[in-house]
Homo-oligomer: A and B are copies of this chain.
Amino acid sequence: MHKKLLIPGPTEVSQEILQEQVRHLIGHRGKAFSDLYRGIKSKLTNFFRLPDEYNPTVTTSSGTLWFDIVGRSIVKENALVCVNGAFSSRFAQTIKNCGKKVDLVEVDWGKAVKTRMIADKLESKKYDTVVMCHNESSTGVRNPIYEIGDFIRREYPKIIFAVDSVSSMAGDKILPAEIGCDVIFASSQKCFALPPGLCISLVSDRAIKRAVCVSNRGSYTDLVKIFEFEKKHQTPFTPNISLMYALDKRMDLLLKETYDQVIGRHIKMAKYTRDWAKKYFELFPEIGFESVTLTCIKNTRKKNIDELIAKLAKKGFLISNGYGKLKEKTFRIGHMGEWSINEIKKVLAIIDDIWELEK
């Protein structure tokens, strides 16, 4: 039985998009591919309102590849990494595992990283890169990247600011030029509502210039090589052409819906889910820092979450238990990609029924 995905990725993908993958393949060094890829990049540029100094690119990988790309091609010596959940922790560990020095701004899971925490660290030591995760899908916390980006740009113009937006780009408001970030990336299977297998990244000229000065970048993790091939509207290594077709179609649909409507729809779904959660439970994230693309709910009623997931699965929907140490203590509902407010209402009503919450 098909279970519709409300987990924090992969999210549900429509038949219309899946069908794009059935198109015949083309050579990745020919004009047809370059035309396709140039079109995708032009649509990404329009949608994310990229000025000239920002460059879109697409890699055949999960989002995690970009942890390595930041570690291998961006961090010169010292990175300051903000950690408030499992994915930002993995980001920090990856950069360490690339042989670079890492200091942390670490806050409890459920809390957001604040500008003044970063300011304190940057005052005490020289860093070449600041790294953070915008939307921690392990905790449902959304960090204030606009305020942080503005601060870094103003006070430390030489620092490269790299942001994991894996589960928020194309759902939450992500406009790199307004954030002031240099590298920001997202996986195809989250708000883009595509199958997994691609990572969409928006990269500043400053970041590419930085990469030129970093040694031992490898090949698959070499940002410089990626942008050498971008000039020809190609990728350095054979890309997933089937998913490129699907991404092209997705960008058409997103542009048709318009940026503001897409973000507005996600905000509406988040607000409804949060109101529902607050009525019966509590929100896990710190107030004012809740994700727009998934809601992480504190299991204050000590309900059996695994049992709920099983019962809901029989009704055709899949949600997530808490991540790692938060299992059974929290549960997570993803509302990203193609979902609409009416569908979210329907799913929450089924949970009401299963748990008899209205009584």
A residues touching B (Cβ–Cβ < 8 Å)?
2-3, 5, 7, 9-10, 12-13, 15, 18-19, 21-28, 30, 60-65, 67-68, 71-72, 90, 93-94, 97-99, 187, 189, 195-197, 215-222, 236-243, 318, 320
Q: Which 10 A-B pairs have the closest CB atoms?
A: A197-B240, A99-B216, A62-B237, A94-B219, A21-B21, A195-B242, A64-B237, A196-B238, A68-B220, A18-B22
**Is there contact, CB below 8 Å, between A93 and B219?**
yes
- The listed residue (B19, B26, B67, B237) touching A219 by CB distance below 8 A is B67
Residues of B within 8 A of A30 (CB): 318
Residues of B within 8 A of A222 (CB): 97
**Is there contact, CB below 8 Å, between B2 and A28?**
no
**Is there contact, CB below 8 Å, between B15 and A28?**
no
* A24 vs B68: C-alpha distance when bound (angstroms): 30
* A27 vs B195: C-alpha distance when bound (angstroms): 11
Number of copies: 2
Residues of B within 8 A of A12 (CB): 25
Can you add 13 more A-B contacts, CB < 8 Å, to A25-B195, A98-B216? Answer: A5-B26, A5-B27, A18-B242, A21-B21, A21-B242, A27-B318, A27-B320, A61-B61, A62-B237, A62-B239, A99-B215, A221-B221, A242-B243
**Is there contact, CB below 8 Å, between B242 and A197?**
yes
- The listed residue (B13, B22, B62, B68) touching A15 by CB distance below 8 A is B22
**Is there contact, CB below 8 Å, between B220 and A65?**
yes
